[in-house]
Amino acid sequence: MRKLNIAIVGLGNIGSYLYKYLNDNKKILTKKNNCLPFIKYVSARNKKRKRNIKIKKNQWLNNYLDATKIKDVDLIVELIGGSEGPAKKLVFNALKNKKHVVTANKALIAKYGDQLAKIAENNKVNLEFEASVCGGVPIIRSLKESLIANKISKIYGILNGTSNYILSSMDKDNKNFQEVLSIAKKLGYAETNPSADLNGDDVSAKLKILSSLCFNSFLSDNIYVEGIKGIDTADINNANKLGYKIKLLGFAEYINNNIYQRVHPTLIKKDSYVASIDGVLNAVIIDSKPVGQSIIQGEGAGPAATTSALISDISSILRGNIKFPFSVSSKKRKKLKFKTIDESLFSAYLRFEVMDKPGVLSNITSIFSKNKVSIKRLVQNPNKNKKISSIIIVTHKSKNKFLNKILKEVSKKNFIKKKPKLIRIDDN
């Protein structure tokens, strides 16, 4: 029976879960893959940390980089995290030394994926990263294999469970942002420092990877990113009244030989599929030909979901499948043009908190008219006690640059009480 010797580097919650799963299920995995997945070595920063697993003394490596040099290591699972430091050293060295690599590290792949792919291809080893995007949702393998016959024009969806939990909880429980964030931290849905989830960086990294796979392009940082910190209960309630839900979405579109990448809060119709995805779930929608629209959803994070993705990658290597990391060889990947969203057309929701006095509304609408942005719907909610008024405007489709220009011009007016709000609308 063939055997594949594995080194797991990083024994946090996910690494420990993977270790136990591989040991508990090695018989069935061997049967399914005709090859034994054998954990030869492990390495972790804190050897003395309490873990619910029994690790043999001879399995421990004192130096994590030794895994890249030892001859009887075939595959390294990198679970350190981060785009720099130990994780970067480990993966680069492993591939250079002809070791297969499986990783859940989206930050590393998003930043160095192009370089790492070339090294893997030159050395005829695998670099697999299913777990780097949407946890247990098999989106990477779907793009590489299941949808290989299709020409993809658009991929979008909910790619971050933390932000989705916060927005859906604000909606259901009528709680403010900080209240829900505090609950998310207590439940383990949000990190102690959740900035990457809240400011859109996490979704941005995932979208870069998905975009590259969809369009056979190199990774690009040309991506518009906006997080959810500015969303409050007033926006949630207004969206409901207008027939929408607010979700943090990532979009990558191929239009006229150009790629547009963007991450931002979005108003979507209540009856749309994406609007029904709540809590920590992720959902990815792919538009392609000839199959049409494909939807994949599931748990986006956590030890169990991530381990499911890691085992999928390990099993592929167990079967002896040597594949290009980004589906096609680096020589055949394209240097496509990545455009900003300035010229893109959007309907938009805008909210202005203003002094309740004559002439304010006409002043605002004149700025819309000057910038050739047509108003589809206007709602004014005065608060006579506070002598302020909330003006909600929904626009027809207009260029993003004109919408931003309006926001900038109105922000300078002395009747503005709070920073104006703009949320793009997706009616598809």
C-alpha atoms less than 13 angstroms from C-alpha of 110 in its C-beta half-sphere: 22
CA distance 363 to 134: 45
C-alpha to C-alpha distances, 229 to 23, 197, 226, 235, nearest whole angstrom: 42, 10, 9, 12
Q: What is the DSSP letter of 142?
A: I
| Residue 88 designated active-site | no
CA distance 33 to 26: 10
* 8 A C-beta contact, residue 332 and residue 192: no
Q: Residue 50: count other Cβ atoms within 10 Å of its Cβ.
A: 5
Q: Residue 273: count other Cβ atoms within 10 Å of its Cβ.
A: 14
Catalytic residue among 99, 206, 208, 421: 206
Largest CA distance in the chain: 84
Question: Which residue is listed with tokens 């002598």?
Answer: 387
| DSSP for 272-284, written as a single string | STGGG--TTEEEE
CA proximity to 133, closest of 283, 247, 323: 283
CA distance 176 to 192: 18
* 8 A C-beta contact, residue 245 and residue 275: yes
C-alpha atoms less than 13 angstroms from C-alpha of 51 in its C-beta half-sphere: 21
For helices 303-318 and 13-24, the axis angle rounded to 10 degrees is: 50
Q: What are phi and psi of 146, to 5 degrees?
A: -65, -35
Residue 264, beta-bridge partner list: 249
Region of residue 278 (phi > 0: left; psi between -120 and 50: alpha; otherwise: beta): beta
CA proximity to 297, closest of 305, 289, 323: 305
What are the start-end ranges of the E strands in 127-273?
Answer: 127-128, 151-158, 224-225, 244-255, 258-269
- Tell me which residues are annotated as active site: 206
